[in-house]
Amino acid sequence: MNGHDSQPPELQKLLACAREAALHAYAPYSGFRVGAALKLTNGEIVSGANVENVSYGLTICAERSALVRGVSQFGPDIRVEALAIANLNEAASPPCGACRQVLAEFILPQAPVLFPAASGLRTMPFSALFPLAFEMKLK
């Protein structure tokens, strides 16, 4: 599905939360303000914004910011059933590879992920976005 209005109301609400979170971004170095909102299986919505640092590599993306907030607030058993991402720059912003790997431990494979793409708003299940997560299974 493409476009904000064609989304189910639940996902439209999540997207609005992501946009609102982006207003809180700390992005003085890139100027790229991102917000992410997670819908948890316990019914809660948790959002986060990117927080940059002058030592650039210490920057935290909006998606991980929301996730660590969710775990901190509700504990390690949280599960994400939907994720929305927004930015204030009218640019494409699918979740970066590092965020996908981190999300993989907490998000349901079928969870819809909404993000701004070059073609407009895109939605796809997390498993399509990140099919081969690293797992540690020792023999």
The residues assigned a catalytic role are 63
Q: How many residues bind ligand THU (CB under 6 A)?
A: 14
Is 53 a binding residue for ligand THU by CB under 6 A? The answer is: no
Of 39 and 52, which has the nearer Cβ to ligand THU?
52
Of the candidate residues 7, 15, 37, 63, the single one contacting ligand THU (CB under 6 A): 63
- Residue whose CB is less far from ligand THU, 8 or 120: 120
Query: Does residue 84 belong to the site contacting ligand THU (CB under 6 A)?
Result: no
The interface mask with ligand THU, positions 107-136, x = CB under 6 A, is: ------------------------------
CA-nearest of 96, 109, 102, 44 to 70 is 44
CA pair distance 27, 74, nearest whole angstrom: 27
DSSP string, 82-124: EEEEEETTS---PPPHHHHHHHTTTB-TT-EEEEEETTEEEEE
The answer to whether the beta carbons of residues 22 and 62 sit under 8 Å apart is: yes
State yes or no: residue 103 binds ligand THU (CB under 6 A): no
Helix (H, G, I), strand (E, B) or coil at 37: strand
Contact 120, 86 (CB under 8 A): no
Pick the closer one to ligand THU by CB: 54 or 138: 54
Is 99 a binding residue for ligand THU by CB under 6 A? The answer is yes
